[in-house]
Structure 1
Amino acid sequence: MARPGRSGDVLGASRARGWLHSGAARVGYPRGRRLSGRILVAQLVILVVTGAIGFTLLGLAQRAELDRAFEERAVAIASTAAAEPQIRQAMEQGAPAVPGGVVQTVAERVRAASGASYVVVIDLNRIRHSHPDAALIGQQVAEPLVVLDGRTHAGIDTGSTGRSANGRAPLYGPSGRLVGEVSAGIPETQVTSEVWRELPTLGLYAGLALAIGLATSVLLARRLKKITFGLELEEIAGLLQDREAMLHGIREGVIAFDPRERISVINKEAERLLGLTDQQVRGARLDDVLPDGRLRRVLTGTITGNDLTVLTDDHCLVVNRMPVALHGRELGWVVTVRDRTELVGMMRELDSMRGLTDALRAQQHEFSNRMHTLAGLLELGDYDSALDYAVDTAGAEPAFAESVRARIGHALVVGLIVAKATVAGERGVRLVLAEQSRLSEQPPHLRRLLTIVG
């Protein structure tokens, strides 16, 4: 199969560009930013928005993770204080809840060493035995004890020292009896500070993702520009309108094939001439929709040439197949199909008329010859021979015409046969109609019959 060359470059770059500019102007689309610029801006907006959302969600997730970490740290501080022997012994012995006591002293030492905002020791009566605010020592807490189940607990506390990550641990005396609860808290300012320290790292990741996305968007824009041959959206829209108007507004069938010989475009005229439908053939190969024969071989390029004639059951078609390339890249093939049925029929009728004219001319010539012969006999005075000749010639042709008319019902066919017999007689050939020949007054396919007889 021939490959497309310069002569087959049907859609030249400059010519295609001219078509598209005119199409875009005709549909009335305003020319804005280039397609690559639009894609880049859209992708950038999407990346920025998604990056901001992701950064926010990641920050919230990091904050929640830090909250859990500080709550666990508060639980560890409370457990450490609950394990102090001095606190355990004093609480089991029922030491008074007074500022400066043993419990207060040890709890403050633990608080200072751990960086907690408070370490509060509470007995089973919910009386505070230690607190950063000495005025609250000896007073009862409002909330119930949560460590009566013997397990540690963590959460967020909004007590007198402000919002903090809170951890609570059960307090057992030296005998192993539950004697109270230790509550430790880490101020929220520490958690917030830790979050702010993590934000630059998170921002770096978000910026890196944004840069990668931006580079990908640039590559995508360039790729799309290459695929669309540098055309803008308005030009593509104009091209589509022009193509639809051209395909369905012409009286020639058009079929387009992609490089893999699959049908990509077929217009209404081609559907009518080939007896196919767009839904049936779109994306299919001709081998799957047409039987083997001259028509399929011409359409697929197996039989090459210009203005190839193909006869189908209903049409006489003239087929041309041309390769299509743009910027040196092979795009496929375009096949045009023209219906020559009416023209061929008219040419056949013209041939029949020419045959009748030739027959009339032959009859006129034969009649002239007979008149000259008869005049010569009369001039020679051979009247008997002249009479015999006149009788013979007068009865021969009418008899043949009557025999044809008796078996052939249609007048046009009768006239054609008699005319052909006259032409044959002029050329020394005798035309005989077989005895079994019969034709009705309204024969089917009269035009084709006249063509064959002629």
Structure 2
Amino acid sequence: MGGRLALVSLGVVVLVAGVLAALLSVQLSDSGRREAEKVTRSVAETLAHEPDVAALISLRDSDALQPMVEQILPDADLSFVTIMTPDGIRLTHRNRSEIGDQYLGSRAEALAGQTFTEVYDGTLGPSVRTIAPIRDGGDESGDIVGLVAVGVTLGAVQQDLAARAPLIVLASAAIVGLGVLGAVYVRRSARRVTGSYTPAELSRLVESYETVLHSLREGLVVTDRSGQIVLYNDEAADLLGLPPATSGQVSLDPRDIDMDAGLAEAIASGRRMVEETVVNGERVLLVNQEEARDLAGRRAPERGRVMTLRDRSELQALLGELEGVRTLSDTLRSQTHEHGNRLHALLALLELGRIDEARRLIVASTGDRQELADRLVSDDDDAVVVALLLGKLDEAAERGVRLDLDVAEPTPALPLAAAEAVTVVGNLVDNALDAAATGAEPRWVRAVLREGGGDVVVEVSDSGTGFDPALADPFAFGASTKPAHSPGGRGVGLALVRDIVAAHGGTLQIAQDPTTVRVFLPAAISEVVP
């Protein structure tokens, strides 16, 4: 492709040089003709106003006029100066043999008192000549006593042009030379950019690239060395809230786009990311970012960075729903097993006649836990949240943490989808259990679900050490006090809670001593599609 482009460029340059040379020749020719007209007119008018010339014409004194004319010719670089009578009889001529013959050329305008210039083919060949009337005494008011014709042959003009031809040739050669250098540069540049691809191959390559780019189910973002977004596909535009993807050149600063601040900074800085979970708005994204590579597979950081994004929002929602179902199933199984054991113990006590102990067992079995379990079968209560809390009772017991539940009756309906409710309540309780389990005795967690001030309030407190003061925002993505090797990721749960609460117009509060997180959700929303 580079060779063909270079040849085309060189051909264009040669053509332009030829056209410029032709235009320059025409320009010089016109310039020579205008110069001839100017000189002939000046000399003709000078002679016409010379009183001695008018007097000599009246005397028909060719012997006196001819030497005067022959002196003027070389000084003014003229081809001829012909002085004649009004009826056209030559009194002077370059060829003395032509003296006394009839002048060939137009005389009417001069006889009418006008000085004029024309191109005429006379005895010396085609010439540019100016004819002026000569008046008696050289005065404008005198009678016309003769005429003077001053001319330069076109051959002389062409000779002058030929003298300038080397300049034209030199200029054309310089242009062609520059064109050759430009063609060589274009060829090398084209090869460096396109390799050995032909235009047809490049066209097919671009079509394939566009097809693949916009057909990917993953988001793809390419940034340059300065961290500006220069390329992205349709999926990336949807995931990050970018303008619709186009085939043209773009340059977007990720920090100017309405996206998660941490993600925008990661894109701008180009830091390496491997399977990192990022919360962007209501989406949970799995992000990878690497340095660009060249055709040989070598890292090429000067070419920018490549980021891929996968949407885990649907998977996260399915996992939340699955967690709710699993919790409900485990709770029901645990309750069934527990009730079976207690019924067997109660039956044995009654058969042994130990009525008082049987009574105490019955009273112990009808506490808060049983009350919550009974709500699972109520159509008016939030069964998913109740089942989740009951499941957390068993988990807390296994971890050596006392979990106190304070759930208003009837159970306040969270204005959230089932999966969102599990995410909010589950993450808050899980974080509290983690904090309490690693803290000092007594280890406890308290979860409150109530209504107040037009809001549904979820409040979770624990006996742990509290939030790290170094964390500017405990709800920011990546903010965590867990060890780096903690299973399930770090700094994601509370970020999900923040985004869900914000999406439903709620607010969050945190407090210390004891560590407490409060979620306020508007209770006005009466129906949420799960």
Tell me the TM-score normalized by structure 1.
Answer: 0.73
Task: Look up the match of 1:157.
Answer: 120
Count of aligned pairs: 412
Q: Provide structure 2 residue ranges, at least 5 long, that are not aligned to the other structure.
A: 427-530
- Map 1:242-321 to 2 at 5 A: 242-278=208-244, 282-290=250-258, 293-301=261-269, 305-321=273-289
Cα RMSD after superposing both structures:
4.3
User: Residue in 1 aligned with 2:330?
Assistant: 358
Q: Is the 8 A contact 1:171 1:181 kept in 2?
A: yes
Kindly indicate whether the alpha-carbon contact (under 8 Å) linking 1:107 and 1:121 is maintained by their aligned counterparts in 2. Answer: no
Deviation of residue 368 (structure 1)? 4.7
The answer (yes or no) to whether the contact 2:14–2:176 under 8 Å persists in 1 is yes
Contact 2:227 2:269 survives alignment (8 Å):
no
Q: Do 1:256 and 1:263's aligned partners in 2 also have CA atoms closer than 8 Å?
A: yes
Determine if the alignment matches structure 1 residue 47 to structure 2 residue 13: yes
Cα separation, partners in 2 of 1:130 and 1:369, compared to 1, 3 Å: same
- Equivalent-residue separation in structure 1 for 2:393 and 2:87 (angstroms): 140
Secondary structure of 1:146's counterpart equals helix
Q: How do 1:11-160 residues align onto structure 2 when only pairs under 5 Å count?
A: 34=1, 36-72=2-38, 74=40, 88-93=54-59, 102=63, 118-130=80-92, 134=98, 137=101, 143-146=107-110, 154-159=117-122
Q: Percent identity?
A: 24
Does the aligned pair in 2 maintain the 1:90–1:102 contact within 8 Å?
no
Identify the match of residue 382 of structure 1 among 311, 332, 353. 353
Deviation per CA, 1:41-86, whole angstroms, max 9, x where unpaired? 1111211211111111111122222223444554577578779998
Q: In structure 1, what is the Cα distance between the partners aligned to 2:260 and 2:328? A: 40
Instruction: Answer whether contact 1:374 1:389 (CA < 8 A) is retained.
Output: no
TM-score norm. by structure 2 comes to: 0.64
Q: CA 1:134–1:411 in structure 2 vs 1: closer, same or farther (change >3 Å)?
A: closer
Match of 2:381 in 1: 409
Q: Distance in 1 between matches of 2:138 and 2:378?
A: 141
- Aligned with 1:345 (options 317, 324, 330): 317
Q: What does residue range 122-271 of structure 1 map to in structure 2 within 5 Å?
A: 122-130=84-92, 134=98, 137=101, 143-146=107-110, 154-159=117-122, 161-171=124-134, 179-228=145-194, 231-271=197-237
Deviations 1:100-139 (A, max 9, x none): x647865885699789665432234555445557597368
**Which structure features the higher share of strand residues?**
2
Per the alignment, in what secondary structure is the counterpart of residue 310 of structure 1? strand
Q: Is the 8 A contact 1:324 1:334 kept in 2?
A: yes
AA aligned to 1:349 is E
Alpha-carbon shift at residue 264 of structure 1 (Å): 0.9
The 1:310/1:40 distance shift into structure 2, 3 A limit, reads: same
d(CA) in 2 for partners of 1:420 and 1:287?
41
1:333 counterpart = 2:299: no
Tell me if the contact between 1:424 and 1:431 (Cα under 8 Å) persists in the aligned partners. Answer: no
Structure 1 pair 212–435 and aligned structure 2 pair: CA distance change class (3 A):
closer
Q: Which amino acid aligns with 1:143?
A: R
- Higher RCO (C-alpha under 8 Å, 6+ residues apart): 1
**Structure whose residues are more often helix by fraction:** 1
* Pair 1:159–1:81, CA change in 2 (3 A): same
C-alpha distance in 2 between matches for 1:410 and 1:211: 86
CA distance in 2, matches of 1:113, 1:422: 126
Change over 3 Å in CA distance of 1:155–1:402 after alignment to 2 = same
Which ranges in structure 1 are unaligned for 5 or more consecutive residues? 1-33, 96-100
